[in-house]
Structure formats: C-alpha cells, structure tokens
Structure 1
C-alpha cells in the first residue's frame, strides 16, 4: 500500500488557492518528497506530514517552481533534530544546486547524499521495497519523469509447506525468498510460493512534451500524474514553445500508456478553474481527473 498526498498542483508561481506542484509518498512511515517549489513547507504543514521523516527527495528539474522551496525545507528538517543522512536525486544540475544551498545553510546536522541521474542511464533506485525509475524527457532544461513500483509478494502455499513437513518457524523466511537447509535437504522458496502477482505502479510526468519513450515508461501504471499546463489544444503554440502539454495531450499519453487513471497537475496560473476544462481530457481518456491541493490517494494491490 502507498499513501500519496498532492501537496500542490500549480506551475510557474504559487497562487492564493494553489500551491506549486509537489507530491508526498508515504510507505510504511517512510516518506519520499517529489519536487519542492516555493511554499511546499506550508502545504506540508497544512497536511500534517511532518518534516523529519522525509528520507528521500526527488527533483524533476532545477527550475524554480520545482526547487525554490528546498533550501528552506532543508533548514527546517535540520531544526527538527534529524541526524540521519538525507538523499536527494535529480537530473543534470542538481549537484550544483545543492552545493549552492549548502553555502546558505552550511551547518545542517545531517549529511546530504546527492545522486545526479545521467542521460541515457538505465536508472533504478531502491527505496525500502519501492523501485524508482527515471527517464529524461523534453523540456527547456534537463528534466526527468519518475515511475514507482512496489512489488507484491507471492502467496505462501501453506499446504505445500505442510506436505514438505517444514516447521512453521521457517515459513516467514521462505516467504521472504530465503532458501532453507532442512536436515540436509535444500528447500527453495519456489517450492512453497504461488504465481507471480502484479504490484503497484504509478508514474509522475511533468514539464515535457509528449514523447514515445514516455508512453513505454508509464506503461500499465495504476495511476499517472501528468502535467496539464494548458487546458486546451487552443494553447498548443504555447505548449510547444514552453515544452509543456495540454489536457488533451496528457490524456492521449495516459491512453497510449494503458494507464488506469490520470490525475492532471501543474496548471498554468492562467487557469483559474481547471475543472471547467476536464472534458478536454475525458473525451480522450475517460478516467481523467483534476488534481487538487492536499488530495490524498491510497494505492492498494489489485485483488488477484
């Protein structure tokens, strides 16, 4: 199970009723923050997420509306008495950005581990049991999309274990995939586990034009968070110029990627009420929804 909180859904600049696009992922109390624009701390406070328990920060790119809140957040995390190391991952430029921040907050009580994703790298990062992948996309500065996959354990076949006379005290270890030497006989987990079961996958794509590579990257996502900077194809010229997407383009991407649901985010400040234009997406992909600040979403394993 993954608990997600949309801390903001805006792009460009914070608005009186809309924070800048950011997402908090909670897995068993371990938290990942995705992007940190101006005001993200305020939104975290409203949602009572806490600060000290953020262990990993993912940055899509170093434009201010995705990064300018990070300096203050690092300071606040330090004031929360955190001493455990914090990892920050991002595209080309993230190392320079964090080094600059360290000049302004040089006395943090915890170490920062910065990982810069290389272009054309088959990037996979393991956070607890969650597998995080990144893909470079098409924006005016180096930018990456992220996908998250939480595998599901195969079902433990109790009857098989009983047939093999395996004591119950070893069942948990076998279920975790560890082989067992029992009285000189090797018991492989495969002997007591069922078929592979699908896990949870969701993807986060922002600040890009739609690419074929993104379609493959988000394939079969339970949920796709995708930018809808512009509400209509009438704004396609702006989308092309600024390397963003329209509602229709995001919906088409979700459709081609065989996603189950689409949540639009990163709305231009010119869009006062994104809901007025949701039909532009739903006419293409019916399970399209407008992301809302402080919205909570729980992703569970499909029942199979």
Structure 2
C-alpha cells in the first residue's frame, strides 16, 4: 500500500484557498516529498502531517514555486530534533542551489545527502523501501525539469508445493518469500525463484508538472494507477500561452493520460487566474473519463489489485 497526498494544487504563487503543488508519499514507514514551495509546511499541517519523518525530498526543477519552502522545512525538521540523514534529489546544480538556500538555515542537527540527476532518465531504490523504485525522467520546460514515477513491485505468490517438492525446510520459507537467497549449513543454495511464481502487477504512481506534452511523460506514466499531471490552463483560448510558457492545458494532459492508459488522472498546478477548474472538466472527461480536477489535500491509498 502507498499513501498519497497532493498537498497543494497551485502554480506560480500560493493563494488563500490554494497552496503550491507538492506531493507527499508514504510507504513502509518512509516518507517522500516531491517539491517544496512556499507554504508547503502549512499544507502539511492542515493534513496532520509532520516534517520530521520525511526521508527524501525530490525536486522537479528550481523555480521558486517548487523550492522556496525548503529553508523553512529544514529548520522545522531541525527544531523537531531530527538527527537522521535527509536525501535530497534534483536536477544538475542541486547541491549549489540547496546550499544557497541554506544561508538562512545554516545549522542543522542532521546530514543532507545529495543525489543529482545527470541523465535524461535515472532510477534508484531508496534505502529502507524494498521493492520501491523512484524514476526521474526529463520533461520539456523552459529550464531543466523532471517528472517522477514511483513503482512498487509485487513478487509472485509463494508456491508451497514447489517448496515441499524441493525439500526446503519450513524455516527457510519466510526469507525466501522475502526475496532472500539461502545457503544451508550443508552448503545447499535455495533461491527465491525456486518457490515464487511469476511477478504480479504492482503499484505505479507518476507525477509531472511544468512541461509541454512529451513522449517521456507518456512512456513513464504507462499503465500508472495514478497520474498526477499539471493542468496550468483550463480555458480553451490559453493554448498559445501554454506553448509560449512551456506549460500544459487540461486537454493536453487528458490526451497523455489516455495514451498512457492510466487508471486515473488528477490535474494540478493551476494558474492563479484559473478560479474554478471544475467548470472545464466535462470537456476534459470526453478525452479521458477518469479525470479529476484535484483540490488541495486530495488523498488516496493505492493498493495491490485483489486476486
């Protein structure tokens, strides 16, 4: 199970009724925050979430509405007596940008570790999150910008008959089921593939903002259970402005959701001038029926499919 909370849905600036886009994800007791604009801490407080247990902060890019809340977030973590290291992920220049912001948050009781994205696509499995992979993929904005896909693998079912036929002692069943290779005191080696069936469908979440439509988004969002995508403009007459500013319309996002065959799409990162996103949804749903104009704090538990 993966807990997902879209903390805010605004772009450019926080508004009294709309915080800036940031995503909070929790799995296996570990927490990931994607983007940290101004007022992200307030959005977290409204949802009853604490900054202290955040293990990873990923940045899509270094525009202020996506990173200006970081110094305050770091200070709050420090004031909560956090001592565990924090992993920060982002495009080229990450350490320089973060350290510049830390001029106003210079002393922290925890270490900041950096993972800079230097390729068009990069994947890693965070420590303490077995089977959970974060993939950063380059999108098309007016500065270097990345989307993120988070995938949770689901191994095959444990085959009791196969384990019994192989004469595997029951004490080894549980570690084999967890994917561990066993070597007995007699030197016999047992591997997980001896007792596990084919890998089953896992969970996939894709988040992207500040981009024109790109093949990289469709490819990485393919078959996602949830696709969270920027919809800067809902007004049909804003197509030219979207192209000029390297942003997206609701309808372009819906076409990508359709082409990627996702289960559900939430729109986010609305222009401050967009007062009522819901009014444009009937036409969006004609393109991709399971589209939602997300509001701040929208949450969901993504679970494995029942069998």
| Aligned-pair CA distance for 1:58 | 0.5
2:142 alignment counterpart: 140
Moved more, 232-241 or 29-38: 232-241
Question: Equivalent residue for 1:13?
Answer: 13
In structure 2, C-alpha distance between the alignment counterparts of 1:285 and 1:136, rounded to whole Å: 24
**1:169 match:** 171
- SS state of the match for residue 172, structure 2? helix
Instruction: State the distance in 1 between where 2:283 and 2:249 align.
Output: 9
Secondary structure of 2:125's aligned partner? strand
Check conservation: 2:221, 2:227, Cα contact below 8 A.
yes
CA–CA distance in structure 1, aligned partners of residues 115 and 196 of structure 2: 36
TM-score where L is the length of structure 2? 0.95
Cα distance in 1 for partners of 2:116, 2:181 equals 36
1:96-151: CA deviations, max 9, x gaps?
A: 2101122221111111112221143x411212121001111111111100001000
Aligned match of 2:297:
294
Number of aligned residue pairs: 303
User: Equivalent residue for 2:201?
Assistant: 198
| Offset of residue 164 of structure 1 | 3.0
Which whole-Å CA distance do the structure 2 matches of 1:295 and 1:163 have between them? Answer: 49
Which residue of structure 2 lines up, in the alignment, with residue 104 of structure 1?
A: 104
Q: Distance in 2 between matches of 1:278 and 1:188?
A: 51
Q: Which shows bigger deviation, 174-183 or 89-98? A: 174-183
Cα offset, 1:213, TM superposition: 2.1
Q: Distance in 1 between matches of 2:81 and 2:95?
A: 24
Supply the distance in 2 between the matched residues of 1:181 and 1:72 (Cα, whole angstroms).
49
Per-residue Cα deviation, 1:234-273 (whole angstroms, up to 9, x for no partner):
2101101111000000000011111111110001111111
**Residue aligned with 1:7, SS:** strand
Contact 1:231 1:280 in 2 (8 A): no
Give distance in 2, aligned partners of 1:145 and 1:242.
17
Per mean C-alpha deviation after superposition, the further-off stretch among 57-66 and 178-187 is: 178-187
Aligned to 2:234: 231
Structure 2 residue 266 is the aligned partner of structure 1 residue 267: no
For residue 249 of structure 2, the aligned residue among 246, 250, 258 is: 246
Is the CA contact 2:155–2:198 (under 8 Å) kept in the aligned structure 1? no
* 2:23 match: secondary structure: strand
In the alignment, the residues of structure 2 paired with residue 25 and residue 303 of structure 1 have an alpha-carbon distance, to the nearest angstrom, of 22
Mapped to 2, the partners of 1:275 and 1:205 lie a distance apart of 20
8 Å CA contact 1:247, 1:280 repeated in 2: no
The worse-fitting range, judged by mean Cα deviation, of 176-185 and 206-215 is 176-185
Structure 2 alignment gaps of length 5 or more: none
Structure 2 partner of 1:54: 54
Gaps of 5+ in 1: none
Structure 1 residue 186, shift from structure 2 partner: 3.0
- CA shift at 1:22, angstroms? 0.6
Q: Secondary structure at the match of 2:136?
A: strand
Aligned CA RMSD, in angstroms, stands at 1.3
Match runs of 1:145-164 below 5 Å: 145-164=147-166
